[in-house]
Structure 1
Amino acid sequence: MNLVVWNIVDWRPICSSRIGNGRSGPGKCLAFVYEDYFVCGGKDFIQTWNLKEDKLFAATCNVGKLKRTFQCVAVDPDSDTAYFGTDSGDLVKVALLTGTARAPAVVSVSIKKSNKKSAINAGRFSGGINSLKLLDSSKILIGCGLGELSLVQQAPQKVVHGKNMPMTQVCESAQGNLEEKYSHKFGAAITSINFTPVLNQMLIATSGNELLNVNLLSFGVTKELSCCNGPLNSVAYPVSSHKVYSTAGNGGVRIWSYENIGQPLVKINPPHTNITATKVIIGKDGRFVVTGWSDGAVRFYTPETGNLVMEVRSACSGTGGVTSMALNRDYLIVGGSDGGVKLWSLGRTTVKLLTSVREHRGKVTYISLSPDNQFLVTAGEEGAALVWSLPGLTRINLLRGTASLISAFLHPNGVHGLIAGTDKELGYWDLTTGLEIRHLKAPVAGEVTCVELSPNGETIAVGTKQSVIRLIRYRDGANVGVGHVGCGSITAMAWSGDSNHLIVTTNYAIIVGWVIA
């Protein structure tokens, strides 16, 4: 692995060098001691680097039998010391010995103090040390892989002949030199720790995509920001408002507000481990948030509290879970991975299966209802869209595409049907005659991942794997707008009921909203 030094004024590389000793693993952490002097660590190595006349000069620390992966580093320039956190849960103190001809040396390997009757590894930090921050020369804030945040104080170092003597022969056993003052357990691994402008407060980031503020005096925790912690599969607006929206993904379902960015109003976690929320719809009357899951169930939650109201098990056929879903006041329509479609009747507190059909030869990728709720269209992975009448779920039309279909819509004018395929082709169909009346290629670059028609039927939004959104005028297929997300493939889009707002999600859990002028 190479180390490259850059000039950030003109983004020009100054010099580079290989790190490690040839037998060690990749680098994991780096911290500057001075402007031209820094330290780095990785798998089984610690090195200091000096930048002189656009050249790098390295000094390798003798770690001896210490087989560790050094994951994070914090530097105390005043005491000429660096502290490294390891994957095995101990803290390694290194004397940098700057200004001398000697290589850096390990001073101590420390863990928390524990009772003599405790297990041999009781003092190690659970899940390894992921992040460090020095509060002063003796107090250290440590973030662990299992979510524990610890404030520890070092025991005074033994002095020999009036000098602090660095170790020359490194022993592998760790000593209980750290006294734990405070600790707090979070629900996810701590990934980074940083200071805030406010005295005695720190910002903590976790692998659960949460940013938290910790008061070091009381160890009270305040949530600053929260994001989804996995790819997002679906997003939905309520019909009557654009100020709130809901997302579904690996971390469950969230309800968000534009007025409180970064803090979900309601958080619905997966009811079981290893299942994913695949679809979400907010009912037109606002009574329920209807969610489809990878275990094939549809669950109804209250939007105010996120409490479970109803659960429909085996709501779809196939083993791939709920792949598509549509909802009106009286019916729930669910598509599965084997091409099956089930029609459910909605009561006040009950759900009843009315009929089930399977005419698609591939996964049902999209279900859309007509504005008058008299018809619906289902799009299949095999390249066909089927138009059905309600409530009997009787097939009345076939709209055939040229490739696998992403979505299909019934236009508000009651006459047209629109289908969109993975080959960027848009097909306009006359539902009265069953004939295709127009066929055009969407003016987008890259692979198309999702397509949505605005509720007023005037604009088509096309999302791509290249993280770009194109707006296409329905009437003539002209490109009328473009939006760059720039962070992951577009996974889902939703229009607000007034067709003036568009919300977009990506596989990197990014949520972006646009106002359509």
Structure 2
Amino acid sequence: MEQQQIQEQDTYEVQRLQLEKIDGFNGKVKHGLKVHPDRQNIIYPLGSSVVIENISGNGRPSLLCGHTSKVTCIAISNKNGDFIASGQETYSGFKAIAIVWDYRSQTRLHTLELHKVKVQALVFSPNDLYLATLGGLDDGCIVIWDVQKGKAICGSPAQVESAGDTLCVEFSNVRDDVFVTGGDSTLRVWELDVENRKIRPSEVDMGQIKRKIQCICMDDPYFYCGTATGDILAINMKTKRFQYKAPEKQNFQSGVTALAHLKNSNFLVGTGCGQLFELKFPLPGPNDKKQPKPKEVRSWSDESVKSASGNGITSIALRGAGHQFFVGTENARMYKFGYECSNKSGAPMFDSCELIKSCHSSEVTDVIFPPASSDLIVTCQKEQIRIWAIKNMKELKRHIVPNMTCNAIALACNGQAIVSAWDDGIIRVFGFGGKSGNDIVLRKIISAAHSKGVSAIACTQNSPACGQGQMDFRIISGGGEGQVRIWNFRYDGRNDPSCELEETLKEHKGSVSDIKIKGDDRECVSSSADGTSIIWDLDKKSRSQIVFANTLFKCVCYNKDETQIVTSGSDRKIGYWERYDGSIIRSIEGSMTGSINAMDISPDGQYIVTGGDDKLLKVWSYKEGEVIAVGTGHSGKILRIRICPQQRYICSVGEDGGILLWKFPF
């Protein structure tokens, strides 16, 4: 697939779209958030790409694209950060690759291909001589690579047959020939013999203790293991024996998922329930008969996150000596902490905590700009609707409907109302109010709007009541059963809103994929998976024209003067159709691989922007039907594209959960 994408890109000798901003972070990747040794950039995974972004927000983000599936692990070389390594997962029976990148030139140096299905973890040796890669469940092997040559030195099964899966690997922080692996009932210290191309394991003497090791932190001559049961094990590296565990009584809730060693010898501990602790671990003295108890210095949790489910801390990344550090969570939130010592008491404290990213944690199903504004966007994903500020890509507001999926959104009355389509067959209409006056407030629930879920939505705009604290507009909805329905929504600002069904249009035989309304609000066009696109007269409430094609239509648009409609879908073709008689004007090959899922036409009518399964964003000239710009950045299928009203930006969203903002090239 990757080669196909490269060949397709090379086919077009065209301008490259400039990526302005990215909002996206796969927080489910364990230890996936990293701070580069130059202290200027953070590095993290997004789908099958690796993002390099300036900490201060200056400059444009960069993407390392080369993986064919989701990135599962990331490592940065220790000395100068000259190398970045990333591993991926793939399908059963196939090889999963790891890639070594040159940080300065942001190019691929080596492709390492020995593991099956998944690369579970990887880590550089302290002097960047070697890279250790750990295979996943279907592989179970540890391999040592020469970083400069990109060649495998040796490998071995990571655990004995009677043990569980190995989950993590960590090099000694002073020796290039010693590393540790841990997992389910397995903990080993390995020594590398480069001359004989061997790695030799020694089992750690744990006595009667059995644990599932989830993370390892080095502090020679000890190393510390976070466990799924919520305690931390201290192991003597020289004797390879269990030393002590902490805490002694009440374990950390939901297990220890991340560990980091601070300059003052304290530890940061992240847990599966989203709590962060700072612990002081005193080492036993030679004359101590009892183990000194660890002391909790400080704890933190995000009080704004009501549910701990899916909020586990997966990454702790130190910036320099630890005066600043970053925390990544499973639900794609990223925090920046300030850390200093108080001059009065000498007690360490968190000076500040800032939420710097609050990304979508699953695929983004729709995005839309408000009318006549390029400063905000509204997006939706599973159970969430969010409003974002374009300037800094900060989330402003969100609304959650638990256990449901929002398929599409539309704005009415100059952005006063958000109309949303949900997979439970309900249309939910939101307005703004609450204590702040700007909170997203549920105004109306239209139950049983469609029997197989609401799959598409659009709203009329030209009501004279809009802008006076009142709402009066039509909602056009499409369902999974193929019906198109017209609703009349009214709200006077005082009483409860009303919504009446005006008409049900039953001509599509498959799920309705997209709906667009003509500028005068008297006509709309719908596309469907049954291979038809129908133009509807909203006054007469009947079909005025229909077009047929041997495809599953995914998207449809009016051109600028609304004399034509443009369609695309699973046949990878962009079709121009005459609105008056439904005749085909032109058919263009829009993609070499995969369907086209998203389309928008620029406000000036000169350009079409498309995206789909090939992960490429393409800008076409409307008249010539030729590609004139291509954007590469998405690591999953592109699902929706919007051009802002001022034609400054293109916003695209997709399966990877990312929101990518591109500079409009013309």
* Partner residue, 1:43: 184
Structure 2 portions without partners, runs of 5+:
1-139, 306-310, 340-347, 462-472
2:152 counterpart of 1:13? yes
Find the aligned partners of 1:40 and 1:269 in 2 and give their Cα distance.
Answer: 42
> Which residue matches 1:61?
204
Tell me the secondary structure at the aligned position of residue 491 of structure 2. Answer: coil
CA RMSD of aligned residues (A): 2.6
Q: What is the CA–CA distance in structure 1 between the aligned matches of 2:175 and 2:383, rounded to whole Å? A: 42
- After TM superposition, the structure 1 = structure 2 runs for residues 116-515 of structure 1, keeping only pairs within 5 Å, are 123-135=250-262, 139-154=266-281, 157=284, 159=286, 162=287, 177-186=293-302, 187=305, 188-197=311-320, 200-216=323-339, 217-219=348-350, 220-250=352-382, 252-261=384-393, 263-266=394-397, 268-271=398-401, 273-283=402-412, 285-295=414-424, 296-302=426-432, 305-314=438-447, 316-320=449-453, 322-329=454-461, 330-349=473-492, 350-353=497-500, 354-515=502-663
Instruction: Identify which range, 68-77 or 251-260, moves more after superposition.
Output: 251-260
Displacement of 1:136: 5.9
Distance 1:301 1:229, change over 3 A: farther
Partner of 1:88: 229
Find the structure with the greater CA-based Rg: 1
Higher RCO by CA contacts (8 Å cutoff, separation 6 or greater) = 2
Q: Distance in 2 between matches of 1:282 and 1:95?
A: 61
Residue identity (%): 22
Q: Distance in 1 between matches of 2:582 and 2:379?
A: 35
Q: Hey, what's the Cα distance between the residues in 1 that align with 2:383 and 2:263?
A: 38
Shift of 1:106: 1.1
Per-residue Cα deviation, 1:373-428 (whole angstroms, up to 9, x for no partner): 22100111111111111234221111112111101223232321222121112322
Using the TM superposition, give the Cα deviation of residue 309 of structure 1 relative to its aligned residue in structure 2, in angstroms.
4.7
Q: Which amino acid aligns with 1:184?
A: W
CA distance in 2, matches of 1:85, 1:465: 40
SS at match of 1:407: strand
Give the direction of change, closer, same or farther, for the CA distance of 1:284–1:473 in structure 2 (3 Å limit).
Answer: farther
Aligned mates of 1:16, 1:452 — CA distance in 2? 51
Q: 1:176 & 1:288 partners in 2: Cα distance?
A: 60
TM-score (norm 2): 0.68
Measured after TM superposition, the shift of residue 363 of structure 1 is 0.9
Residues in 2 aligned to 1:506 and 1:72: alpha-carbon distance in whole angstroms: 31
SS at 2:159 equivalent: coil
Deviation for aligned residue 1:443: 4.0
Deviation of 1:251 (Å): 5.4
Distance 1:318 1:201, change over 3 A: same
Asked if the contact 2:545/2:580 (under 8 Å) is kept, the reply is no
Aligned length: 486
- What is the distance in 2 between the residues matched to 1:112 and 1:361? 64
TM-score (norm 1): 0.87
Quote the offset at 1:315 in angstroms.
6.5
Which residue identity is paired with 2:235? Answer: V
Structure 2 Cα separation of the partners of residues 346 and 198 of structure 1: 58
Residues of 1 paired with 2:264 and 2:192: CA distance? 26
CA contact (8 A) 2:142 2:157 kept: yes
Equivalent residue letter for 1:131: A
- Higher mean alpha-carbon deviation, 53-62 vs 420-429, is at 53-62
- The question of whether the paired residues in 2 share the 8 Å contact of 1:289 and 1:302 is answered with no
CA offsets per residue over residues 326-354 of structure 1, 9 Å max, x none? Answer: 11222211111111222122323424222
Shift of 1:131: 0.5
Alpha-carbon distance between aligned partners in 1 of 2:643 and 2:372, rounded to the nearest angstrom = 12
Answer whether contact 1:282 1:289 (CA < 8 A) is retained.
yes
Unaligned runs of 5+ in 1: 114-122, 166-174
Q: What do residues 270-298 of structure 1 show as CA deviations (whole Å, max 9, x unaligned)?
A: 13x21122222333623233333333222
Q: Which amino acid aligns with 2:445?
A: V
Q: What secondary structure, in the 3-state scheme, does the structure 2 residue paired with 1:193 have?
A: strand
Instruction: Give the counterpart letter for 1:252 in structure 2.
Output: Q
In the aligned structure 2, how far is the partner of 1:413 from the partner of 1:222? 47
Please give the secondary structure, in 2, of the residue aligned with 1:347. strand
Q: 1:384 to 1:509 in 2, by over 3 A?
A: same
Give deviations 1:443-474, integer Å, cap 9, x for gaps: 44333332333343332222122311222222
Residues in 2 aligned to 1:229 and 1:367: alpha-carbon distance in whole angstroms: 27
Deviation of residue 19 (structure 1)? 1.1
Equivalent pair of 1:331/1:345 in contact (CA under 8 Å):
yes
2: CA distance between counterparts of 1:313 and 1:178? 56
Aligned 8 A contact 2:573 2:591 in 1: no
**Partner amino acid, structure 1, of 2:241:** A
